[in-house]
Amino acid sequence: MHTVDFEFRKEIIKEDFSLSYCYQCGTCSSVCPVALATDGVYNPRKIIEESLLGLKDLLLTEQNPNVWLCSTCQMCVEKCPQNVFLTEIFENLKNKIVQTGESYPDTFKTQAKAVLENGLALSPTPPIIRRREELKLPKVETADSKEIKKLLNATNFVEKTHLNGGKK
């Protein structure tokens, strides 16, 4: 049994008012490639419904459906007849999951660590660098990683993203 959290509902609607325009037509789920690939296990309409109902536990703790599966392809946003900014709403939910210390996929932690260490989420591997050189593409530039590390340490990035632990 899941309880409605009115404060949570108010908070997510305030963060993105387009959420309140949804009339549950299901177009988003019908065009979503991840919904198709997972036989509907991933279901953006349902995430929006749970958000409208303020079902905080389902969204943040159980993550059912799992908002991290969204590939941010924007198909749903393009087709939604009510101009609901689904991907913005999902981004807000992901931020809340991390802020509240709930578990989130290791792949995002790996990317966060890469940003911390190299200043890039996906560092170019030697084959990528070689291929870029062959194609005469410019060198991939990034800001000084020491500066990035300094900034991230000053803003408690490791603690905020729970890179040292958090719920499992």
Binding site for ligand SF4 (CB under 6 A): 22-28, 31-34, 44-45, 48, 70-76, 80-82, 84, 86-87
Non-local (6+) Cβ contacts of 5 within 8 A are 54, 55, 56
Tell me how far apart the alpha carbons of residues 18 and 88 are, in angstroms, rounded to a whole number. 10
Long-range CB contacts (< 8 A, 24+ apart) of 127-130?
Answer: none
Residue 43 CB, nearest approach to ligand SF4 (Å) = 9
Residues in CB range of 142: below 8 A, 6 or more apart: 118, 119, 120, 148
CB of 90 to ligand SF4, least distance (A): 7
The CA distances from residue 143 to 74, 121, 165, in Å, are 29, 13, 28
Considering the complex, state which of residue 71 and residue 142 has its C-beta at the smaller distance from ligand SF4. 71
Query: Shortest distance, CB of residue 66 to ligand SF4, whole angstroms?
Result: 11
Q: In whole angstroms, how close is the CB of 4 to ligand SF4 at the nearest point?
A: 19
Comparing CB distances to ligand SF4, the nearer of 33 and 105 is 33
Q: Say how many residues make up the chain.
A: 168
Residue with smaller CB distance to ligand SF4, 83 or 156: 83
Shortest CB 80 distance to ligand SF4, Å: 3
- Kindly give, in sequence order, each residue whose CB lies less than 8 Å from that of residue 94, ignoring residues fewer than 6 positions away: 67, 68, 104
- Distance separating alpha carbons of residues 19 and 90, to the nearest angstrom: 11
- Nearer residue to ligand SF4 within complex by CB, 35 or 148: 35
Is the CB of 44 or the CB of 119 nearer to ligand SF4?
A: 44
